[in-house]
């Protein structure tokens, strides 16, 4: 019987092994510990370079066809759904920013994790430069131009190409990046344990995790209070109705895979069939309030750990771009954070180790973020239904 270990558990096992080996091997043999660590330092260098190379391709593959397909919707209903989804995502990001900047500094002392514990970071055996085909912002601008262009001329051939390109990049993520990700995180944490940084990082993990889960439920409460007030229904009863979608998303870690359950439960809230049939599949790709809360909170935690500045003006632009960049993020675990890596590097100046920390933090609770996304879809469907044209309702 073949036992399948989920991605979250693989990452947790990788972190635990890295901490254990990073602490115990130097006690046994310092020379062996250094050589062993340098093997994984070399792997993380190569993997990080490959990730840099793929990020612009991810942006092109997901955003361009995503925008093109948005242009094919049914008029006002599409406009309402897109506006409400984007506003919900932005509100979630702003909520996370103010919560994280007021709570996390009490537990994360600026720059404290840079204390090396008496050892220098392990270096790779060699350097390998994998230059991306284009910069992140260039890829983002090109994706906008191509997506809007395909929608305006109703190009079927170009859209077909980008659909296949999307599938190709999704395979790269599913069969290369995701399987190798635990080894990458193992290498990063092995290096951090060797230099004495891991203990503080793990304590930060716990604090950020708890805060994010609380913020998820705060955001869901806001969404359902709004939907309940507009439709004169009990918001907490509505949340109970959507609970099966929440639990299903925790298991699947994919908004797309949860669509059948989300659709069934959304119809039970009282929203019309026509509106739910149109909006729920759409929201699965464009509404990511839970993922945005996670990304913003985790990124602030990582910046605090590294003693880097956090300004609202910079973060507001990051949140606005995040709401667009994650459009049509792949239906695989960690799709949102993979789509956001480019923004983390270009707008928040993350380096390779910070990106790895960010991915580990995000993956640890990815299923809860996805569950918040799909549960919020039910509230947004009710809001769209309330404002949609009568003939659509």
Cα distance between residue 298 and residue 357, in whole Å: 9
E strands present in 93-151: none
Angle at alpha carbon of residue 386, lines to 284 and 282, rounded to 5°: 15
pLDDT at 252: 65
Over the chain (393 residues), the average pLDDT of each successive run of 10 is 68 86 85 88 88 83 77 67 90 94 82 50 81 80 86 88 89 85 85 75 79 94 94 91 87 73 88 83 84 92 86 89 74 71 87 82 82 92 82 45
- C-alpha distances out from residue 393 to 83, 86, 173, 315, Å: 18, 22, 39, 38
- Asked whether the beta carbons of 163 and 82 are under 8 A apart, the reply is no
Cα distance between residue 151 and residue 144, in whole Å: 11
pLDDT at 283: 85
pLDDT at 187: 87
Domain ranges in the chain are: 7-387
- C-alpha distances out from residue 201 to 93, 171, 192, 303, Å: 23, 32, 9, 12
pLDDT at 334: 66
Query: CB neighbours (10 Å) of residue 234?
Result: 11
> What b/e sequence results for 341-376 when a residue is b if at least 16 CB atoms lie within 10 Å of its CB, and e otherwise?
bbbbbbbbebebbbbbbbbbbbbbbbbbbbbbbbbb
- Whose CA is closest to 9, among 374, 367, 371? 367
pLDDT at 200: 67
Cα distance between residue 92 and residue 323, in whole Å: 10
Cα distance between residue 90 and residue 315, in whole Å: 11
pLDDT at 393: 44
Phi, psi of 339 (to 5 degrees): -70, -25
pLDDT at 238: 92
The model's pLDDT over 322-362, given as tens digits with 9 standing for 90+, comes to 888 877 565 555 677 887 888 888 888 888 778 888 888 88
pLDDT at 116: 39
pLDDT at 379: 93
User: Helix (H, G, I), strand (E, B), or coil: what is residue 209?
Assistant: helix
Cα distance between residue 93 and residue 87, in whole Å: 10
Cα distance between residue 192 and residue 198, in whole Å: 5
pLDDT at 271: 86
Q: How far apart are the first and last CA of the chain?
A: 50
Pick the CATH number of 7-387 from 1.10.10, 1.20.144, 1.10.3860, 2.40.50: 1.10.3860
Cα distance between residue 303 and residue 310, in whole Å: 7
Cα distance between residue 191 and residue 356, in whole Å: 12
Cα distance between residue 387 and residue 80, in whole Å: 8
Cα distance between residue 196 and residue 200, in whole Å: 9
């Amino acid at each position: 019987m073949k036992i399948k270990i989920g991605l979250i558990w693989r990452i947790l096992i990788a972190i635990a092994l890295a901490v254990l080996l990073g602490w115990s091997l130097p006690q046994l043999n310092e020379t062996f510990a250094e050589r062993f660590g340098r093997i994984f330092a070399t792997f993380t260098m190569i993997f990080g370079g490959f990730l840099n190379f793929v990020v612009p391709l991810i942006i092109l593959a997901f955003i361009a066809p995503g925008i093109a397909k948005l242009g094919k919707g049914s008029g006002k209903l599409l406009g309402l759904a897109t506006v409400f989804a984007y506003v919900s995502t932005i509100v979630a990001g702003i909520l996370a920013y103010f919560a994280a900047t007021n709570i996390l500094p009490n537990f994360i002392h600026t720059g404290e994790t840079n204390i090396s514990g008496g050892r220098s970071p392990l270096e790779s055996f060699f350097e390998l430069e994998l230059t991306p085909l284009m910069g992140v912002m260039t890829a983002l601008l090109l994706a906008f131009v191509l997506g809007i262009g395909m929608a305006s001329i109703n190009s079927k051939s170009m859209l077909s190409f980008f659909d296949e390109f999307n599938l190709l990049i999704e395979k790269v993520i599913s069969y290369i990046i995701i399987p190798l990700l635990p080894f990458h995180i193992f290498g990063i944490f092995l290096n951090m344990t060797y230099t004495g940084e891991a203990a503080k990082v793990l304590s930060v993990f716990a604090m950020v995790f708890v805060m994010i889960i609380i913020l998820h439920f705060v955001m869901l409460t806001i969404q359902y209070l709004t939907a309940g007030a507009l439709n004169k229904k009990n918001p907490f009863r509505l949340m109970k109705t959507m609970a099966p979608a929440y639990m299903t998303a925790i298991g699947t870690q994919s908004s797309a895979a949860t669509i059948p359950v989300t659709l069934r439960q959304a119809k039970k809230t009282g929203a019309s069939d026509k509106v739910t049939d149109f909006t729920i599949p759409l929201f699965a790709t464009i509404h990511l309030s839970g993922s945005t809360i996670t990304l913003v909170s985790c990124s602030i935690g990582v910046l605090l750990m590294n003693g880097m500045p956090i300004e609202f003006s910079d973060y507001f632009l990051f949140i606005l771009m995040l709401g667009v960049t994650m459009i049509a993020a792949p239906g695989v675990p960690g799709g949102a954070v993979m789509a956001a890596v480019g923004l983390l590097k270009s707008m928040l100046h993350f380096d390779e180790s910070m990106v790895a920390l960010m991915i580990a933090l995000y993956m640890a609770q990815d299923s809860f973020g996805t569950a918040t996304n799909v549960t919020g879809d039910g509230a947004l469907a009710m809001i769209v239904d309330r404002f949609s044209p009568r003939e659509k309702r």
